[in-house]
Chain A
Amino acid sequence: DADVTQTPRNRITKTGKRIMLECSQTKGHDRMYWYRQDPGLGLRLIYYSFDVKDINKGEISDGYSVSRQAQAKFSLSLESAIPNQTALYFCATSDFGGAGDTQYFGPGTRLTVL
């Protein structure tokens, strides 16, 4: 079984709709992250959480919100989706002090906003 899972894997929605992307991990890591990937722009950090009570904005948090429901679960919400939020979204985890603080990524959610 995958260590970091994301649901859904693909989603098409309309402008103005509320969307939630979910991430679960079985690695036992405290740290979780949400990134967005756009062609030619690489990965940009949206939000991150270092433990259940900790939520921090990344470089592009506007239009997004997150919830850390448990150590293993970190969800990303788009309150009112717009077309320029069409992208590939990745969840990642890391273990503080572990091997270079390596990040472990989920398989991604491809979101299309029409």
Chain B
Amino acid sequence: GEDVEQSLFLSVREGDSSVINCTYTDSSSTYLYWYKQEPGAGLQLLTYIFSNMDMKQDQRLTVLLNKKDKHLSLRIADTQTGDSAIYFCAGRSGGSYIPTFGRGTSLIVHP
């Protein structure tokens, strides 16, 4: 089955860009997702990208997909303290209706 890996922590200064990376193993992954979990809350979808896309941009968020290397990244421009949260990468293959989640990356934004 799918395996999704991501680093556990990232610390950035307010105003800088953050890049959170993720690798996955299933080359048939159809959808790849980024979820955000704020303290004391459930996960909320930030964005998703379909496997036939290389890039998706939504305001301060840019998702890059490298299918050859099975690598997904989330770039947050002009990172703010309100972006401090845990970010989960998830992948789902076309043959499965259940996404596999990574362990989550804790983003810490300091002044």
Alpha-carbon distance between A92 and B90 when the two chains are bound, in angstroms: 14
Alpha-carbon distance between A50 and B97 when the two chains are bound, in angstroms: 10
- Which of A11-19, A61-69, A73-81, A98-106 forms part of the interface with chain B? A98-106
Is there contact, CB below 8 Å, between A90 and B103? no
B6 to chain A, nearest CB (A): 9
Q: Which residue of A is nearest B49, CB measured?
A: A100
B97 contacts across to A, CB distance below 8 A:
31, 50, 94, 96, 101
Is there contact, CB below 8 Å, between A90 and B43? yes
Is there contact, CB below 8 Å, between B103 and A101? no
Is there contact, CB below 8 Å, between A43 and B33? no
Is there contact, CB below 8 Å, between A40 and B33? no
Interface size on B (CB < 8 Å)? Answer: 21
Is there contact, CB below 8 Å, between A48 and B8? no
Partner of A102, one of B42, B45, B88, B103: B45
Give the interface size class of chain A.
Answer: 20 to 34
A90 contacts across to B, CB distance below 8 A:
42-43
Is there contact, CB below 8 Å, between A103 and B45? yes
B44 to chain A, nearest CB (A): 7
A108 contacts across to B, CB distance below 8 A:
40-42
Q: Which of B33-66 contact A (CB under 8 A)?
A: 33, 35, 40-45, 48, 50
Q: Which residue of A is nearest B101, CB measured?
A: A43
Is there contact, CB below 8 Å, between B101 and A42? yes
Is there contact, CB below 8 Å, between A105 and B43? yes
Q: Taking A90-B42, A100-B48, A108-B42 as contacts, is the C-beta distance between A42 and B99 under 8 angstroms? A: no
Alpha-carbon distance between A105 and B31 when the two chains are bound, in angstroms: 18
B88 contacts across to A, CB distance below 8 A:
42-43
**Which 8 pairs of residues, A with B, have the shortest CB-CB distance?**
A105-B42, A42-B103, A43-B101, A100-B48, A105-B43, A100-B31, A102-B45, A107-B42
